[in-house]
Amino acid sequence: MAAVRVWDIFCKVIDNFGDIGVCWRLAADLAGRGQQVRLWVDDASALGWMAPAGCEGVRVLPWTGPLDLVAAGLEQQAPDVMVEAFGCEIAPEFIAFCARKEWAAGIKPVWINLEYLSAEPYVERCHAMPSPVMSGPAAGWTKWFFYPGFTAATGGLLREPGLAGRQARFDRAGWLAAQHIPWNGEKLVSLFCYEPAALSELLAQWAAHGLDGEPVRLLVAAGRAEKAVKAVLNNEKGLQPLLDGRKQLSISYLNLLTQQEFDHLLWACDLNFVRGEDSVLRALWAGKPFVWHIYPQEDEAHLAKLQAFLDMLDAPPSLRVFHTRWNTGPAPAPAPEPSPATALDLAAWQACALAARSRLMAQDDLSTRLLGFVAKKR
């Protein structure tokens, strides 16, 4: 068992709650392994619906200036590990306090810069590289870059112990009933996305033809996905006769889900559309066919990141074509038959997802690698 250490994790919420989602999962996972965690966040409001029950061993503290370090308990428990997530810079008063405390004790904390997830080649090159601190109260310390990733030469992937067992015990029909989602055997598809240009085309296809010849029940996540679907239905009047006529497509709008319930959603569905870093990883662990709406960047750097991810998956051609279409635009007019841009091959996508999950499950997870890294540096 790993030694019990005190971790201070710093997180800034940029947008879309992905940063706080990843940081909360990490904090809760570390706490579940006996670690003590203080999670400093500038906007913790999302945790009210994402993790309303909290987690034993995790304290959520406000990252507002100036930090109340005494109330946080640093005098009694200075950090063994400091984690700045996704390039945020730890508050300078915190660094100064730790420098005084740790220099007096003769032991420096392990300072980790936790980076974004990527399958690109640079991750292996940059993982665990040191960055000497040259100035300020912590001059002489070392900051370590820690890159999550998909190979043994990276920091691994967030995966809590017992995840596979939880999924094996999952009762799909019971969960759908508890969520008041009507289900009569339709193909279940979850939609958690931004505003993909191909959405209207895909909805029109499902409304006319269903999926694999079966009706579709679309489960739409609250927030931007819900707004995107409703915008299509308002703007694409040609969809209304299809929705009201053949009824090949039914739509259910979901409330905000806890992280655990989001896992259940992914497990329940036959196809999952996800976005961002946290949800794509949960879709991968679900082992169901999935499509990733990667966070768009102005310089289109996200497209190279997407292709590296598809390479890692060993994605079949149909999945690559669909991802390219889903993550670019604009969309053509809806076709009377399924177009190559929206052709779905669930059997091939399922095989791909299961093979990737099996391969990655055999590797050590992110928390295990973090704990091992800290043990070597502390």
Catalytic site positions:
19, 277
Residue 169 has a CB neighbour count (10 Å cut-off) of 6
Q: Is 76 helix (H, G, I), strand (E, B) or coil?
A: coil
Distance CA 175, CA 74 (A): 42
Distance CA 292, CA 103 (A): 46
For residue 266 the two structure tokens come to 């992914």
Residue labelled with tokens 């053949």:
246
CA separation (Å) from 322 to 94, 290, 293, 310? 46, 11, 11, 11
Distance CA 208, CA 239 (A): 9
Q: What are phi and psi of 323, to 5 degrees?
A: -60, -40
Q: Can you give the length of the chain in residues?
A: 378
Of 62, 14, 72, 15, the residue nearest 40 (C-alpha): 62
What DSSP string describes 151-168? Answer: STTS------TTHHHHHH
Q: Is 103 exposed, middle or buried (0-12, 13-18, 19+ CB in 10 A)?
A: middle
* Contact criterion met (CB below 8 Å) for 36 and 77: yes
Q: Hey, which residues does 293 pair with through a beta bridge?
A: 275
Sheet holding 290-293, edge to edge: 249-253, 216-220, 187-191, 271-275, 290-293
Distance CA 72, CA 51 (A): 21
Of 162, 24, 171, 167, the residue nearest 85 (C-alpha): 24
